[in-house]
Amino acid sequence: MTSDLIYICAGSGLVGLALYRLSTCRDMLLRVLSLNVLAVGVAMLFLASARHAGITDAVPQAFVLTGIVVLVAVTAALLALAERVDGQDDE
């Protein structure tokens, strides 16, 4: 139970850190990075609360796995858009 608490605190800490950076920074690469950190924090909360009697529930594990794959797609799409926005500023 104590180790669950450690991971819950770390997960919330990562969420707070990512929210802080998302709202104080205009650099697009750092914003995408913050989004990734936010996702890691949420996944950590999810998995830390999915443990019951030493066994991790398979359904939240599948959700987090799906989340990781969706996030890489979102990251690729956002970076492509960011590059396009930067390119248009030049014109």
Partner 1 sequence: MSLAFDILLTIGIFFTAAATLGMRDRVGSVVGFVVAGLLVALSWVRLGAPDVALAEAAIGAGLTGALLLRSSGRLKPVERLISPPSHRFIVALIAAAFAGALAWAVYTASGAALYPALVSERLASSGVTNPVTAVLLNFRAWDTLLEIAVLFAALILVRIVAPAVPQPVALGELMLPFARIIVPMCAFLAGHLLWQGASVPGGAFQAGAMLAGGLLVLMLGGFAAPTPRLMSWGAMLALVGLAVFSLAALGAEVLTGTLLLYPDGTAKFWILGIEAALTLSIAAMLCLLFCGVPRRPLK
**Positions 35 through 54 that interact with partner 1 (CB under 8 A):** 36-37, 40, 43-45, 47-52, 54
Site string for partner 1, 7-26 (x = CB under 8 A): xxxxxxxxxxxxxxx-xxxx
- Of 72, 46, 71, whose CA–CA distance to 60 is shortest? 46
Determine the size of the site formed for partner 1 (CB under 8 A).
72
- Cβ density class 20-52: b for 16+ within 10 Å, e for less: ebeeeeeeeeebbbbbbbbbbbbbbbbbbebee
Smallest separation (angstroms) from partner 1 to the CB of 8: 5
How many whole angstroms separate alpha carbon 38 and alpha carbon 14?
6
DSSP label of 22: H
Rounded to whole angstroms, the maximal C-alpha distance in the chain is 60
Q: CB 30 → partner 1: shortest distance, Å?
A: 6
Write down the least CB distance from residue 32 to partner 1, Å: 7
Query: Binding marks (x or -) toward partner 1, 50..79, rule CB under 8 A?
Result: xxx-xxxxxxxxx-xxx-xxxxxxxxxx-x
88 makes contact with partner 1 (CB under 8 A): no
